[in-house]
Chains A and B, each alone.
Chain A
Amino acid sequence: MQIKKAANKPLSLRRPAFDWSNVVLHFLLPLAGVLAALLIGAVMLIILKADPIAAYAAMVNGAVGSVSGITQSLVKATPLLLVGLGICIAFRANVINIGGEGQIILGALAATWFPLTFNTWPGWLLIPSTLIVGFVAGAIWGFVPGILKARLQVNEILSTIMMNSIAQQLMNLLLRGPLMDPSGIAAGTYLAQSARLPVQVWLPRLVPQTLLHAGAILAVVLAVLVYFFLWRTTIGYRIRAVGLNPDASRYSGINVPFYQALSMTLAGGFAGLAGAIEVIGVQHRLLEGVTSGYGFTGIVAALLGSLHPLGLIPASILFGGLLVGAAQMQRAVQVPSSLIDAILGLVVLFVSGSALWSRRWAARRNMGTEEEEKS
């Protein structure tokens, strides 16, 4: 309820009207937040005796200044978009999913095990089935907190935090056991990584010499599908109704716990898919640290995209670009990477803080056309 309000969506169950000035508003104010954070970052850069202008020039250049920069940004945006789609569905049902990290791990584990086991299957069969297996594995990891909430009132924040750690240990267990690369055992290095996946399961690369893979297109297609799912189907309508007003939904006969569990399951599925795509699209084997924090940054991307599947597409590209540009900046001016984390943290803080004004302005503009729903 409030989640949507905070993210500046008119709380109408109708399909949102497409309003370009609204879109501008959604992006200009967060952009101001980004600038404010970068300004503080500039001060920190000066203290570290680095040239802030060179640093930020490198940042912009790194993200959008070259084919390689743009493709990197898109590679980063892909898991953010997928995780964000799941977050979006869950938040629409008023369920908070901070279990993205664990769900990504499960998807990645499944997407490693499956092609290594069925390594003789041809690519046209192996790729889609691996993606489905990854989705299902993540969905199971989302289903558990979902059903615990629905049946036993176990708070989902608690269960997802715990399940993130459990997933991490599960990955440790499998990576030092059945999934460990046999060649690492033979060489006596015992590295925590799986064998390389069979070549036919690798997602095709879209631009040579870059990591950009077909998963990026799939993610955009899925974003459109999720949009139709949420606004054009009965299930989607009920998910949003449950999130908007659980009491009213209950009176009108909607099984509230069921739809909350369903939304959590779908959220897990999308995070699992993100993990699977990282494995077969980028890494080609399972490595520690496969989540890269996407379970959390995906939440940020989702909220920047106003919890709207289509808004998520530009939001995740922007956020991915920010991550890529920041990394480029670290290399250009040679500051510790932790400075980048600190600046990104400020960006997230300030952008979240900027939502108020954009919300107020939007509310003022929408007055008369759409009555803002009060909780």
Chain B
Amino acid sequence: MKDVISLGVLGGILTSMIRLATPFLYAAIGETFAQTSGVVNLGVDGIMLLSAYGAFYVALNTGNLWLALLTAAAIGLLMGLLMSFISVTLKAEQGISGIGLYMFGLGMSSLLFKITIGTVKTIDGFQPVRIPLLGDIPGIGPILFDHSLPVYGAFLLVPIAWWVLDKTTLGLKIKSVGQNPAAADSLGINVDRIRYFSVCLGAVLAGLAGASLSTALVDLFQDNLTAGQGFIAVALVYFGGWNPWGVMGGAFLFSIVNSIQLWMQVIGVKIPSDVAVMLPYLLTIAALMITVNRVRQPAALNKPFERGES
């Protein structure tokens, strides 16, 4: 027990945090786009599952991991189109259509898995790529700069998403559509088109979240592989207050508490394992309680837009 807080331990916790945070980052940043435009997509987990399956299937049969990512993105896009058609064009209640999408993704992925693959198999997924120079920094180098490409991608996504949402006209349009669709419409912004775009972008990223699991982090597919991570990702969007950096903070907090609780179990800290597993969930709520999050949600969140209605 003497090495409980050694540098190696800390490194292990951080490495584990980065890996655990990766799918959350993709999915939650994607959901940030959808929600900023005013659409709550509760079907993230279903998109992740079907894409994780698709990516795994392609990787298993072709060995081409890039094609696998592309497949995942394409499946995400298709499911995003389905979600936006139902929620934007048909103006369905978003909570219900998202749950439908989740059930469909869960069922379809395990059905296809059973028919086309049959049993659990593993692949050689994305291998860690050590970034030259940075990766050689003693201590933090191997922790931060020795990961697979989809992991780096997740972290690059954060500043890009922030830049798009905060610094571009596209981002402005997405926000205005989520805040006041009627005003945006009167300014000549095509509300539906922006919402389609945002939901589909979110779904593509959810697809990549699934692929990052099945081709980079666990290198296999199984029934209900995500085990509800898509729902956590939705929660993290609220945690982050629709800001990519905040979302990243939430993903880090959740993941680091998770890797710390695993570490506590390994070194035999005397608390029941179930309580340890609860910690990330408890602390995420607690963190939000003390930071007093007064960010207003997009005013038109969860509201379909009908022209001339308001």
Contacts and interface: CB of A to CB of B under 8 A. Distances in A.
A3 B91 contact: no
A349 B114 contact: no
Given A157-B238, A299-B96, A344 B278 contact: no
B110 A338 contact: yes
Given A3-B93, A165-B278, A352-B86, A153 B294 contact: yes
Contacts of B244: none
Interface in A1-58: 1-3, 6-7, 48
A341 B106 contact: yes
B93 A154 contact: no
A348 B232 contact: no
Given A148-B289, A158-B239, A169-B277, A303 B93 contact: yes
B258 to A, nearest CB: 11
Given A338-B114, A348-B103, A353 B235 contact: no
A336 B111 contact: yes
Interface string B255-284: 000000000000000001011011001101
Nearest to B303: A2
A341 B239 CA distance: 30
Contact of B285 (A148, A340, A345): A148
A223 B304 CA distance: 29
A345 B102 contact: yes
Contacts of B310: 374-375
Interface residues of B, number: 57
Contact of A348 (B85, B96, B114): B96
Interface in A174-198: 176-177
A334 B159 CA distance: 50
B302 A3 contact: yes
Given A6-B91, A166-B278, A348 B289 contact: no
Given A162-B285, A170-B278, A349-B101, A343 B107 contact: yes
Interface in A232-273: none
The interface residues of chain A, by DSSP majority, are classed as helix
A152 interface: yes
A153 B96 CA distance: 24
Contacts, number: 176
B85 to A, nearest CB: 8
A345 B104 contact: yes
A348 B97 contact: yes
Contacts of B46: 345
A3 B102 CA distance: 20
A173 interface: yes
Contact of B96 (A2, A300, A336): A300
A2 B302 contact: yes
Interface of B: 40, 42, 46, 82, 85-86, 90-93, 95-97, 99-111, 114-115, 223, 228, 231-232, 234-236, 238-239, 272, 274-275, 277-278, 281-282, 284-285, 288-289, 292-294, 297, 302-304, 309-310
Interface of A: 1-3, 6-7, 48, 96, 98, 148, 152-155, 157-159, 161-166, 169-170, 172-173, 176-177, 296-297, 299-300, 303, 336, 338-356, 359, 374-375
25 contacts: A2-B304, A6-B92, A48-B115, A96-B95, A154-B293, A155-B238, A158-B239, A158-B288, A162-B235, A164-B231, A166-B278, A169-B277, A172-B274, A173-B275, A176-B274, A338-B108, A339-B111, A341-B106, A344-B107, A346-B104, A350-B86, A355-B90, A356-B90, A359-B91, A375-B303
